């Protein structure tokens, strides 16, 4: 691990406040990527999007935060680009016979991120970001995310738009489709995601929720491994009924979660076929107030 810190540790940082507007955070803390789903408490997310499930959240670095006013602030971050090993991050395996891997780590495996958070009359909230990451020698990743949140009385909704362009397939979805003949994730991948959710508190203690996702996986350049084009479209859908018996965060739930994976002819040439998954879950969620 490039920061020699266990992945079980999420936070280990200090914050220096210069004044009411500016502060500097040093250590391991959250990367401030855009998107509402990314910022949600994981115990409240019944099913993540493809992009959400492949993102690392807690990284080591520095963050400068500046508040223009109580409703708007920006974060400027420089962080390690990963918390796991080089091998696990880039899917390093044994190359196929006759293939030789030329993948080398960069001298400065850093991530640069700018994030804006804005609140408008406590009704509309925005969480946007733009990121560039130095992945390995000669490979960069560009990631853009726009999270938009709406709160109107009993109604709550958000919509996330995400685009990731990866000269080395860090997300790994395209590599899972076309394989890793050179013993690591392939290059020239991109991903486009739309995630939306709506909750309705129809009674003081009862809430209905629906969530939908549409995500596409692409190869951006034809190589000897794969042709340029779209390889997969995935859909996700969630329906929930939640009961909140107390004013605390304890709640009981019944949830349906489904996924549909549609492969194009380009992906089917690698032996893939369309399929669906369906799950029903029930239980309770309680964030225990131990301290």
- The CATH number of residue 261's host domain is 2.40.160.10
Mean of per-residue pLDDT scores for the chain: 91
Report how far residue 20's alpha carbon sits from residue 69's, in angstroms, rounded to the nearest whole number: 9
Residue 1's pLDDT is 47
Tokens of 234: 């995935």
Q: Which of 221, 28, 238 is nearest to 139 (CA)?
A: 221
Q: What does the pLDDT read at residue 3?
A: 61
In a domain, 5, yes or no: no
pLDDT recorded at residue 98: 61
- pLDDT of 88 > 80? The answer is no
Question: pLDDT: is 187 or 259 the higher one?
Answer: 259
Phi, psi of 269 (to 5 degrees): -65, -20
Of 109-113, 159-163, 171-175, which one has max mean pLDDT?
Answer: 159-163
Looking at the domain assignment, is residue 291 inside a domain?
no
* Domain extent at residue 36: 12-285
Residue 195 lies in a domain: yes
- 185-218 pLDDT per residue, tens: 888 999 999 999 999 999 999 999 999 999 999 9
**How would residue 237 be classed by pLDDT, with cut points 50, 70 and 90?**
very high
Dihedral, CA of residue 150, residue 10, residue 133 and residue 32, to nearest 10: 20
- Of the candidate ranges 107-111, 164-168, 189-193, the one whose mean pLDDT is the lowest: 107-111
pLDDT, mean of residues 56-63? 92
Residue 1 inside a domain? The answer is no
Confidence tier at 256 by pLDDT (50, 70, 90): very high
Residue 275 lies in a domain: yes
Domain-embedded: residue 290? no
User: Would the pLDDT of 18 be above 50?
Assistant: yes
Count how many domains the chain has. 1
Q: Can you say how many angstroms the Cα of residue 156 is from the centroid of all Cα atoms in its chain?
A: 21
């Amino acid at each position: 691990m490039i920061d020699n810190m266990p992945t079980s540790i999420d936070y280990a940082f200090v914050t220096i406040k210069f004044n009411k507007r500016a502060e500097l955070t040093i250590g391991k803390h959250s990367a401030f990527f855009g998107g509402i789903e990314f910022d949600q408490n994981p115990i409240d997310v019944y099913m993540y999007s493809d992009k959400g499930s492949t993102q690392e959240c807690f990284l080591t670095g520095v963050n400068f935060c500046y508040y223009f006013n109580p409703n708007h602030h920006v974060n400027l971050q420089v962080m390690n680009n990963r918390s796991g090993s080089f091998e696990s991050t880039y899917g390093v395996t044994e190359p196929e016979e006759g293939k030789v891997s030329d993948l080398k780590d960069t001298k400065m495996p850093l991530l640069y991120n700018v994030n804006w958070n804005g609140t408008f009359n406590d009704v509309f909230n925005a969480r946007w970001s733009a990121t560039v990451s130095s992945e390995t020698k000669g490979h960069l990743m560009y990631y853009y995310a726009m999270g938009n949140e709406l709160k109107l009385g009993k109604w709550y909704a958000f919509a996330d738009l995400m685009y990731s362009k990866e000269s080395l397939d860090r997300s790994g979805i395209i590599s899972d489709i076309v394989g890793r003949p050179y013993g690591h994730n392939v290059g020239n991948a991109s991903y486009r995601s739309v995630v939306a959710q709506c909750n309705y508190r129809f009674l003081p203690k009862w809430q209905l929720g629906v969530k939908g996702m549409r995500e596409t996986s692409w190869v951006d350049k034809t190589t000897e491994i794969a042709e340029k084009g779209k390889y997969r479209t995935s859909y996700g859908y969630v329906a929930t009924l939640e009961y909140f018996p107390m004013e605390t965060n304890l709640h009981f739930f019944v949830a349906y979660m489904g996924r549909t994976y549609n492969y194009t002819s380009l992906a089917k040439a690698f032996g893939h076929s369309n399929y669906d998954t369906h799950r029903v879950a029930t239980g309770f969620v309680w964030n225990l107030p131990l301290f």
